[in-house]
């Protein structure tokens, strides 16, 4: 009888051990998965790639910028402030625009339009209509073509 009790106790013990191992494995796996999710979400650098031009040295480049409206980003070459890269379709000039924000409260629709047009105007030839922001792909291709 005593032997039978021992066996049953051991069996119960083994079962308890198995459960213990299962729970431990489950906890370990869950924390590993959570850790991975948490870390992979934190891994990519913040912000989005933007095509920019340095206000100081005029270098065309692609930077990761968190807020495109208030670029705190600095030029990778000289450390100067950057602006969004724009290109004139009329003369091919590449230039930067720092900010499109302006106080429009007391402006009529026409005045607002004119203000936006004056902000995007090509500084080289004065073109207003045929100007556009440069895409990241376009700048990356252009830099590759120039061997930079």
* Site residues for Zn ion per CB under 5 A: 54, 56-57, 59, 75, 77-78, 80, 88, 90-91, 93, 122, 124-125, 127
Residue 20 vs 123, nearer CB to Zn ion: 123
Residue 32 vs 57, nearer CB to Zn ion: 57
CB of 90 to Zn ion, least distance (A): 5
CB of 114 to Zn ion, least distance (A): 18
Residue 49 vs 93, nearer CB to Zn ion: 93
Residue 20 vs 126, nearer CB to Zn ion: 126
Residue 66 vs 78, nearer CB to Zn ion: 78
CB of 77 to Zn ion, least distance (A): 5
Residues 6+ apart with CB under 8 A from 48: 64, 65, 68
List the one residue out of 76, 71, 46, 45 whose CA is nearest residue 139. 76
CB of 111 to Zn ion, least distance (A): 24
CB of 78 to Zn ion, least distance (A): 3
Q: What are the residues facing 47 on neighbouring strands?
A: none
């Amino acid at each position: 009888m005593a032997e039978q009790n021992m066996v049953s106790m051991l069996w119960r013990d083994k079962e308890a051990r198995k459960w213990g191992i299962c729970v431990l494995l489950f906890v370990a796996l869950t924390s590993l998965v959570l850790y991975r999710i948490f870390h992979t979400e934190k891994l990519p650098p913040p912000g989005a790639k933007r095509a920019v031009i340095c206000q100081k040295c005029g270098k065309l480049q692609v930077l990761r910028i968190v807020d495109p409206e208030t670029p705190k980003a600095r030029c990778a070459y000289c450390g100067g402030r950057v602006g969004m890269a724009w290109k004139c379709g009329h003369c091919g000039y590449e230039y930067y625009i720092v900010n499109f924000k302006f106080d429009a409260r007391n402006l009529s629709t026409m005045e607002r339009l004119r203000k936006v047009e004056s902000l995007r105007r090509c500084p080289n030839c004065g073109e207003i209509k045929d100007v556009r922001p440069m895409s990241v792909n376009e700048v990356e291709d252009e830099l590759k073509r120039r061997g930079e």
